[in-house]
Structure 1
């Protein structure tokens, strides 16, 4: 059974501004899926629907077979324990006034998870490769890559089954980006991952499956290696053609 299922979902902020049109998507336990599209394709809107921050105008979304209903408080508390998100910008997603311990422990408090928060935070920091003393410091004392690791630690501290990553490496330099991708690949062994990105190269390195979104419609999806080796849709072909390639000049 699907962990999360999107069935023929359409959405628009106004009647004459449709952002998503007939989108269907299944995420099963253990899946690593890359959702790829240019700016304005509807990626972020779909993510908001998956988080229960918006309701579809048509179609349905379910989690573990139950409707994803933002108005159902008990269900949404359980859902948010099972599904967490990592945002694009590690500089704005962390409260500069709080120590790292308080930042990472926030889901445990808000979701009323009965556990030893000190142990849980230390375990989350270890999982993302950070020293336990990190918990005593403030976000401004860390590099961008370290801040994103802190953000990921906050997302996994409640041990979710689904991690949603929204352009989680695009604000980082190349070396740091590679390290965070490697970290997400390691974490995805224990949870499902939906990685939202405009960067096909990162998705190719991280995700087993790829979904291509153009103007609010899924135009192609399948095993990443197969889609990238033989893209069937013209939009996918254009995206691949736009990926920079290294050329060597003969001497």
Structure 2
């Protein structure tokens, strides 16, 4: 089943250059997708469009077969419950004035999600491998990796269908990065993942499908292992040759 689909999407921040040019790909429920490219390739812009933070200037984005309607409050509330995000910097993405319990429960409150919030928060915290005592502490008491786990717990508390991750391990040291990648792998068994990264090794470890972006255009897309084994585009081969990979087994 098609969960999220971009069809001929175009976007520009100014008239002088096209940030995204005729971008089309499908996120199928249960199959995680990696968006890969160097800085300026357009991958983070795609994430903004997926989150409804910006509107495409051409083409269409659909979720569960319905066009993304940024003007409909009811649609966007339902969409934000089903689609959550984790961002790059675990130090700036958490409010230092709030305790962990309040941080994780924020989407439950804002989206008016029914149920026992204390229980939902406790389950989300457990899912990312943090102890219950963490709920009463502030973000400054945690390491970068632990803060990213808190950010992930906040995202999964609403039990979304789709989890969007924007360079979510690039700010972490290598050993912590491996642990967080493993956490994302486990979460991908429960929800669909779109993982934005410049690191092919991370994407290969997490995602069944891969989309390679260069200067706002898709140059290669398909099964991750097929692309890794037989890259067809020179840009893909360049990324494989030049970007360090994580020392972990690929799926």
Report the TM-score range of the alignment, normalised by the length of the smaller protein: over 0.9
CA distance in 2, matches of 1:239, 1:185: 22
* Alignment: residue pair count: 246
Relative distance call for 1:100 and 1:245 in structure 2 (3 A) is: closer
Q: Structure 1 228/129 Cα, relative in aligned 2: closer, same or farther at 3 Å?
A: same
Counterpart in 2 of 1:217? 217
**What is the root-mean-square deviation in Å for CA atoms of aligned residues?**
1.1
Q: Which runs of 5+ in 1 are unaligned?
A: 247-251
| Partner residue in 2 for 1:101 | 101
| CA-CA distance at 1:18 after TM superposition | 1.2
User: Does the residue aligned with 1:149 lie in a helix, a strand or coil?
Assistant: helix
- Name the SS of the counterpart of 1:21 in structure 2: strand
The aligned residue for residue 91 of structure 2 is 91
Spell out, residue by residue over 1:13-53, the C-alpha distance to the aligned partner (whole angstroms, 9 max, x if none): 12222100000010011111110000000011100000011
Residue aligning to 1:171: 171
Give 4+ residue runs of structure 1 displaced > 4 Å after superposition: none
For residues 152-163 of structure 1, the aligned pairs below 5 Å read: 152-163=152-163
- In structure 2, the residue matched to 1:192 is 192
Which structure 2 residue ranges, 5 or more long, are not aligned?
A: 247-251
Q: CA deviation at 1:69?
A: 1.2
Residue 67 in 1 paired to residue 67 in 2?
yes
Segment of structure 1 superposing worse, 167-176 or 237-246: 237-246
The CA deviation at 1:243 is 2.8
Q: Which has the larger radius of gyration?
A: 1
CA distance in 1, matches of 2:147, 2:34: 23
**C-alpha separation between the residues in 2 aligned to 1:202 and 1:237?**
16
SS at match of 1:190: coil
Question: Is 2:202–2:245's contact at 8 Å kept on the other side of the alignment?
Answer: no
Q: Distance in 2 between matches of 1:197 and 1:5?
A: 19
Q: After TM superposition, list the pairs within 5 Å mapping 1:1-251 onto structure 2.
A: 1-244=1-244
Cα displacement string for residues 71-93 of structure 1 (whole angstroms, at most 9, x for unaligned residues): 11100000000000000000000
Q: Deviations over 1:172-220 (max 9, x none)?
A: 0000000000000000001100000000111111111111000000000
Q: Structure 1 CA distance, aligned partners of 2:51 and 2:127?
A: 24
